[in-house]
Structure 1
């Protein structure tokens, strides 16, 4: 029993978030890492907890079935049971192995459906960004600010100049999406040519970018830092070379970046927005 308890505890720890990285760059994979990336949103924390809970349940089921099979093999082999039984069914047992799985599935569904609904019920966003997948890069449009830009993979020799580490090759982009911490961000996702998929593991979000359709996802980052994702739908020969980089900054830093971005990408000037609002 003590061995079983230790095994269940060890299995439950496997999907827990990895330790946070030094500094602010917390959203990237680690060599020989085990489990999820560190959760940076409530959605991601919910997924991690649900995965841990289900892992404990399925581990208990596997161990129970293995123990039951071992008992049957030992108790009912030809040596210990030379005269086999002749019954064809056992109604109480059949009812039990029908009802118990139903109860387990209802229990899992009770916790998993709220997590799913939370992801799919899109709240009103403080910031709306349209994401378009291309072969093989991403385009971003800040819908309410009137500007957009494309985001391409950074070459190895460009990483240091842009403040990225060598192990962030295939993760870092030349232009990052910038959002403020603690604000609800709604991403409108579509594709321009084939099906892509916009995925950010640390945020617990993933949405297919389908040409001709506009899907949505949302997140609210709880910590500042740089977070990396990648296209997660096979979309052609350079599928592995269209990463996603998001920088979560303070509201003050975001306002400063936004003013510069409007000037650089010909966005709607702040003075025009104020006049329109009046």
Structure 2
């Protein structure tokens, strides 16, 4: 009886978690026993949430319950005690047609919205408001370049910087998550379409630039330019990590993106054009950092 009561309590707890995945994700970071995806702030991520929550989960739940019901039925109906003389039936045309056709129809139901979402993800807007080039380096860090803010005579962006992980001590001092926070964040304006050009250093290895709340995950491959995009509608700090096993320092390639207002972005870009020293830049970043965070768990 005690075991049954504990089992019922466990089921009740699981049900309560399943009923409120968004509430847990809204905390802004991964928490123990979290269920559900991180908050969505882009159209692509909205599509991922819809596909997962309203198409895949109901289908998966129905299949699991249906198979469970079949197993229980078979165990009760056809056990040795209830059915001492087993049936010798080897074929049933109706059943065989159903278990072939129904999975095909399920896959079609999944495929149609999946293809639409895939097209949305890979249809890079031609009228992007800005472009950011992201390079994974052999030193296991990210390099960001903003060609829209001007280029030199060699075609290199005037605003270009490396982003390294904060040390454990610095992260604790600043009250930010260790191994997710970076010393230099990528800064973009809110409600603007950002085109990403992602690659890896020719002498480097494959990395993967990922921000779950943006629905962005794109490989950085040496000698190849990959493209992606996002349009973040909510100001905030968003975290990700390299999502490709890339070697000994794979765990030390955090991604930190600040989505700020147009005024703050202009102030940041104007300052970056002047090549500020580290102290001045750090002080300035403290004035424009948006509240909140979305923390990735890969």
- Could you tell me the TM-score, scaled by structure 2's length? 0.78
Q: Deviations over 1:84-103 (max 9, x none)?
A: 22222111111111111111
Equivalent residue number for residue 205 of structure 2:
194
Q: Does 1:137 align with 2:141?
A: yes
Other structure's SS at 2:275 match: helix
Does the 8 A contact of 1:138 with 1:150 survive in 2? yes
- Could you tell me the TM-score, scaled by structure 1's length? 0.84
Residues 161-172 of structure 1 mapped to structure 2, 5 A cutoff: 164-166=174-176, 168-172=177-181
Q: Does 1:20 align with 2:65?
A: no
Alpha-carbon shift at residue 30 of structure 1 (Å) = 3.7
Residues 4-43 of structure 1 mapped to structure 2, 5 A cutoff: 13=19, 16=22, 18-21=24-27, 26=28, 28-43=29-44
Q: Does 1:61 align with 2:91?
A: no
Equivalent residue number for residue 158 of structure 1:
170
Q: Does 1:117 align with 2:127?
A: no
Residues 175-186 of structure 1 mapped to structure 2, 5 A cutoff: 175-186=184-195
Other structure's SS at 1:144 match: helix
Equivalent residue number for residue 253 of structure 1:
264
1:240 to 241, 251, 261: 251
Alpha-carbon shift at residue 32 of structure 1 (Å) = 4.5
Q: How many Å separate the matches in 1 of 2:168 and 2:89? A: 70
Equivalent residue number for residue 48 of structure 2:
47
Equivalent residue number for residue 234 of structure 2:
223
Q: How many Å separate the matches in 1 of 2:275 and 2:46? A: 36
Alpha-carbon shift at residue 11 of structure 1 (Å) = 7.9
Q: How many Å separate the matches in 1 of 2:178 and 2:191? A: 28
Gaps of 5+ in 2: 1-7, 150-156, 277-298
Q: CA RMSD in A?
A: 2.3
Q: How many Å separate the matches in 1 of 2:99 and 2:87? A: 21
Q: Does 1:173 align with 2:182?
A: yes
Gaps of 5+ in 1: 266-278
Q: How many Å separate the matches in 1 of 2:13 and 2:57? A: 12
Other structure's SS at 1:213 match: coil
Does the 8 A contact of 2:17 with 2:35 survive in 1? no
Does the 8 A contact of 2:18 with 2:35 survive in 1? no
Q: How many Å separate the matches in 1 of 2:219 and 2:62? A: 34
Alpha-carbon shift at residue 156 of structure 1 (Å) = 2.6
Change (3 A) 1:226 1:11: closer
